[in-house]
Structures are given as structure tokens and as C-alpha cells.
Amino acid sequence: MEHAAARAHETGLIEIALVIVLAVSVGLLLMRLKQPPLVGFILAGVLLGPSGFGLVASSNENITMLAELGVLMLLFFIGMELSLKAFVAALKPAVQIAFGQLAASMAITFGLMAISEATLAEALILGFIIALSSTVVAMKMLDDIGELRSESGRIAVAVLIAQDLAVVPMLIVATSLGGEGEIGWVGLTIKIGVAVAVLAGLLWYLGRRPKLKPAFAPAVEDNVEMLALGSLGFCFAAAAISGFIGLSPAYGAFIAGLVVGASTLRSPVIHVVEPIQSILLVVFFLSIGLLIDIDYIVENWVLVAVASFVVIVAKTVWNVLLIRLAGLKHTTAMEAGLAMAQIGEFSFVLAAAAFASGAIGLDVYRLALAVTAVSLLVSPAWMIVMRQIEGEARFGYAEFKQALAELYEDQVETVEDVGQWIRVRLRALRRAARRRRVAKLEARQTPSSEKAPAEASEKAPAE
């Protein structure tokens, strides 16, 4: 018995070592290719999982538990890093864009439901999954092109945070739609209403007062061990309480992050928690790779490819349109829209929760995982290609302006004046055309009997 237990323990250590080594190796390779390392972590999970070498089971309880902790830590960290003032300043356009994304996704999935055998629950869950974008991938891509602190980065981050906030009620819906009985819409609405009301009240309260100053802050702010243990304990306790009262554990973790982020301990806690969160996130993305069924993708590669392409293109176009409608300029809309073109990491969480509750079937679950993974993998390359095309288009327009400036150099002093000169010339041409139309209309309406006396009176003085 002891020998068997020792062998099992040794096997577990070998699995962990393989996971870490392969994750680091593939992550470094993707960094060399200037791609987000998290894409490498997903690929490492695919290679280690049942679809690859089969070294780690997709149902491995240790990895599943660590992945769930990674989700909680991600929401806890997002809550801590959320700048309430900056978010409130961009709240209106962010909420409008996020709501528009959700409405468009729902329109697509409900259209599919009308022409297929999909259920209402599956249409809702797929709409949620498509609407979300990846906070980690989008911020990494914007940072790589130097736009994270620009207007494009600010609006994208605000929209992504709005989406992350929406994950909480989405998870409540996803876990409530399963089962054979009828959906309890009243109880579900009450749950969502309570969650949104508590969150809105907390944001309002924390945004109107100075930083919270815990009485124990001076004693622990320089103690790394107590800060790490205390913040983790607070995060997991809030998640446990939230789950116990019928809300999502992720909701409690996010609330805990908001409270810590609004306190004087925010900076030291972020400093000590970030490495732990990074390790758990690696495990989370590895667990995603373990769940991806390569055999399903190979058998249904046309469906997966078409669905992935349609989702990425539709999200890009719709994101750019929504950001433009919010009053932002074209370049800002393009950068932010491309950054949010993929499906997000929380979509995996939603899909897993919905599948576990029975809200979606196995085929829908595998398709959702495959399309989400493909969109994450190709998103960086999609942004590079589209920015190149956009840059060529801008360059062509600049050449056109330069040619006009050289052609009309006596009328236009600089290339920047060309646009204004064109507008002035177009207005002048439109005014001349209007005058000609008015003159023709008046000529038609003047009777011939009135024309004769007028002509006679004009000739009389000449005689």
C-alpha cells in the first residue's frame, strides 16, 4: 500500500514537472514569435492532454481545482486594478459598446436557433460566449503596439472591464438554465438584480470616498507573508460566501478585489499577489488546452474554420462600428476593435459551467471550446494583418493628398490644407449647381405673356 501510494505521488510530481517545463518552453517559443505566451500555454495543454500525447487527463482533479482558483484570482486581480475614477469617466461609452456587442451576439445566436434545433438555453449561452473578449490577450496586444495607454487602450480596457462585470450575471444564468424542469425566471431575475444592485452600490460608495484605511494596515503592509496569505484568504472567503448564498464564487472574488483596490493596501497586495495569480493563470490556460478535442476539430474542421472566421470578422466590424457610433475617431476604433476581435477566456468558464449544469449539450460545448481556442490563437496574427492593410490604405490616402498638393501648389500651401481646400471647392460647386437649378426652375415658371412686355421695356430706352 505504501509503495503504491509512493508511486502515485511520484507520478503526480512527474505530471506537474512536465506541465511546467512544456508550458515554459512553448511560452518562450511564442514570445520569440512575438505572440502572447498564453497562446503557448493553451498549446501546451493540447499537447499534454488526451488529444495530444495523453500525459495528463482532462479530468485531472488537481489541475481542475488550480484552474478554478486561477479564475477566482483573475477576477480578484481585475477588481484590485480597476481604477474607479477612470472607469466611471469612460462608463457610458463602455456600457453602450458592451451592450451593443451582447445584442449583436444574441441576434446571431437566436438567428441560428431559428434555423436549427438549438434550444433557448443554448442560444443564450452561445450569445454570452461570443460577446466576451479576452482581457489578457487584448491588453497584451495593445501593449505590444504601444497603444495600451492611448485613447484606443483606454476605451478597450473600459469595454473589457464592463464585459468582465457582465460575466457575473452571465455565470448565474449559465448555472441556472440546466436541469429538466422549467427555468425559474423569477428567481433568476432576483439573483441577477441583487448581484447588479450590490455591485453598483459598492462602486458608487467606493468611488465617492477616500481610500479605506484598515486598522491593521501599518502592521502588515511590510510583511510579505501576511499580505499574501491575508489577501488570498479574503479572496477565497468572499468567493465561498458568494457561492453559498447562490451567487457565483467569481462574483465574490471580484467584490473582494474591489474592496482591496479601494484601500491603502492596494499597491503592496498587488505586488505580492501578482506572481501567484500569474502561476494560477498558466494552469488555467493549460486546463483550457486539456479540454480541447483535436479529433472533433479534425472531423468538423470546415464548421470550426467557418464559425471562427465569421466570429472574428463579425466582432471586428461590429466593434469598430460601435466605437465609431460612440463618437471616437476611426484610428481609435480600428485599434480597439481589432484588439477585442477574439472570444475571451471567461467564455471557457461560461461554457464549462453551462455544460456541467446541463444547459448545453456535448456538441455545442466542444464547438464553443474549439472556436474560442481558434480565435485566441489567431487573434494576434489577425491584428497584425489588418493593421498592415489599414496602414497601406492610410498611406495610399496620404499619397493622394500629396499629389493634389503638388498639382494645386499655387492654391494650397501644405498637404494638411488639401482636405480643407477640397471641402471649400466642393461647397462652391454645390452652391453653383443650386443656383443653376433655381434659375432653370424660375425660367420654366415665368409665363410667356410676362416675358414680352419685359423685353419691350428693355428695348425702348435703347431706341
pLDDT of 321 reads 92
Q: Kindly write down the DSSP assignment for every residue of 395-453, as one continuous string.
A: HHHHHHHHHHHHHTTTT-SSTTHHHHHHHHHHHHHHHHHHHHHHHHHHHHHS-HHHHHH
Nearest to 373 by CA among 29, 77, 55, 129: 129
pLDDT of 415 reads 46
pLDDT of 252 reads 85
Q: CA 165, 169, 172: angle at the middle one, nearest 5?
A: 140
Straight-line distance from the first to the last Cα atom of the chain, in angstroms, rounded to the nearest whole number? 135
What span, in angstroms and rounded, lies between the C-alpha atoms of 220 and 237? 19
What span, in angstroms and rounded, lies between the C-alpha atoms of 136 and 347? 13
Per-residue pLDDT tens over the stretch 149-195: 788 888 888 888 888 778 878 887 887 776 555 556 677 777 778 77
On average, the pLDDT of the chain sits at 77
Residue 394 CB neighbours (<10 A): 13
C-alpha grid cell for residue 254?
471580484
What span, in angstroms and rounded, lies between the C-alpha atoms of 37 and 399? 38
pLDDT of 390 reads 72
Nearest to 95 by CA among 169, 155, 174: 155
What span, in angstroms and rounded, lies between the C-alpha atoms of 26 and 390? 31
The structural architecture, per CATH, of the domain 61-376 is Up-down Bundle (1.20)
Per-residue pLDDT tens over the stretch 34-78: 666 777 788 888 888 777 777 776 666 666 677 777 778 877 887
pLDDT of 455 reads 47
Mean pLDDT per 10-residue section of the chain, whose length is 463 residues = 51 70 79 73 81 69 72 80 72 86 89 80 90 82 77 84 80 74 66 79 78 81 84 90 79 86 85 82 78 84 90 91 87 88 85 84 87 85 81 55 54 52 68 76 61 47 42
pLDDT of 412 reads 47
pLDDT of 396 reads 53
Segments making up each domain of the chain, as ranges: 61-376
